[in-house]
Structure 1
Amino acid sequence: MLDMLGNLIKSIRTKKHMTKTSIAKQIGVDTGYLTHIENGDRKPTVKVLQEICNAIDVPYQKFFAAYNHKIPQEAIDYEIFKHTAEDRILLVDDINDLHFMKCPPGLNSVSFGIRLNDDSMDKIYDKYSYVFVDFGAPIKPQDIGLFYYNGQILVRRLFIYGKNHISLYPDNPKYPKIRVKEKDTFYIIGKIVQ
């Protein structure tokens, strides 16, 4: 397993066609230090991590979520980082429907809970039950995750065939399997942890 934080920084930096040298110069660190961070050999301080996020123009909260996570080899093999929503933020449409609850024991990595509005995952979760999301956590094939797909927020099981064939499977057969196409708008929001 590799360090998720370094891999995430490298992935975003290369997507944005930025060099380590330009980022290092902008934030006032040595290029070698940035290389060590990307390779997972060093952990940046909170201040340096925030400066890296400013330099690559992404919200830093996701990077804090990734700070101590390791990436499963499958996630690397299937290039899951192509589908992270690192430069996106969640928007809440109905502020009158927010609730708070005490964090369930053993779920201290949870970022938020979301109520299911269908029975698509009925083998594990009942309709209208809450699932808990670790925002930005690494996800690998067959994990259940929260996904954005063409304007919909879905809880589904992730399947990957080869590097470019992503499918989202419901547990309930009355719902269709979704094959994500290149023209689709698709993001991995987080991993369901309960």
Structure 2
Amino acid sequence: MPSPDPYDALPAVPAFTVTSDDFTNMQPFSPAQYSGKMGVPGGRDESPQLSWTGAPQGTKSYAVTVFDPDAPTGSGFWHWAAFNIPAGTTSLPGNASAAGELPPGTVELRNDAGFPGFVGAAPPAGHGPHRYMVVVHAVDVASLDVPADATAASLGFALFTHTLARARITGLGEVSAA
């Protein structure tokens, strides 16, 4: 049984649209979005390409998060947390995190693997499918006051009071038992 949707516990906000050239909503991630750093054969730890439209007026910046609520931790697993993305941005290229192609001013926090940037999917073999919730948050301030050494959960708390709207797409990941 999958874990509850963590966004159900947050205040409702309007939705806008996010798409990816790398995966389709509720379909498997491409191999590029799996984690070689965490031992998945063929994984490349490349942040997905993302494009978004329809953010509300008043959007002054964006944050992008990738969260696995199905990780066997009791608290999920943060794969990516980037914020202070300028309001004029409407897309990120694939592998933007590792390739240094994030817009100037963007801050990336440590993921739950312990380093700043994107870490790919790495569900434990045989644990079943995991959902990787990719969310673009439209933010009402140009710069969130979150330290660069904060946790992704701290960013989530700041987003609780500054999110105008959310665009969501979910990738799936599973590693077969050997």
Bigger Cα Rg:
1
- Alignment TM class, shorter chain as reference: under 0.3
Bigger RCO (CA 8 Å, 6+ sep): 2
What's the TM-score once normalised by structure 2's chain length? 0.22
What's the TM-score once normalised by structure 1's chain length? 0.21
Between structures 1 and 2, the one with greater helix share: 1
